[in-house]
Amino acid sequence: MSFLFEPSEIPDVVTVTPTRHADARGDFAETWRRSAFVSQGIAVDFVQDNLVRSVRGVLRGLHYQVPPRAQGKLVFPVSGEIFDVAVDLRAGSPTFGRWVGCTLSAETGSGVWIPAGFAHGYAVMSERADVLYKVTAEYDPESDRGIRWNDPTLAVTWPVSDPILSAKDRALPLFAEAELPA
């Protein structure tokens, strides 16, 4: 198989490590092959790719879109290292309100699959990181929502204490006040 799929403590959030093929020129890896993902129960169609460049200490998130524009995300750092977080916002889920985090780096080649119904964010651990992510729904500002990165109810253990945030992310509501996916 071209990928190693490793479910997290929240089984629907899956670390994906592509097989790398190396030679004297460098290496090659697939980051997405529909049949491989379908074989793992991840049958999705991606409609938009995003590439984000950030510097050390930047924290982006926690972001999500509400239905009908909820997004699943396949996230890979193509340079640098990030600490990536997913928060389960699915009403009725046994892991509702819980989060999982993992360190992803271009060096290891690992990424993460985060299904719709989760908030997503990451903190940049290297001098710079370029993060590529594929999404299952196009960005829609009317559906865009978020939760404050340091919400005490969620108690995410971020590896940064004083992150660089956008004005939008500083103003996000707490978990208890957020409009969650229905």
Tell me which residue of 150, 173, 151, 153 sits closest to 163, measured CA to CA: 150
Q: Which residues pair with 113 in a beta bridge?
A: 14, 74
Active site residue 133: yes
Tell me which residue of 151, 126, 17 sits closest to 75, measured CA to CA: 17
Give me the catalytic one of 21, 63, 64, 120: 63
| Cβ(168)–Cβ(145) below 8 Å | no
| Coil vs helix vs strand at 176 | helix
Q: What are φ and ψ of residue 108, in 5° steps?
A: -85, -25
Beta carbons within 10 angstroms of residue 49's beta carbon: 11
Active site residue 139: no
Give me the catalytic one of 120, 122, 133, 139: 133
| Cβ(125)–Cβ(77) below 8 Å | no
| Coil vs helix vs strand at 89 | coil
Q: Any idea which residues carry the catalytic annotation?
A: 63, 133
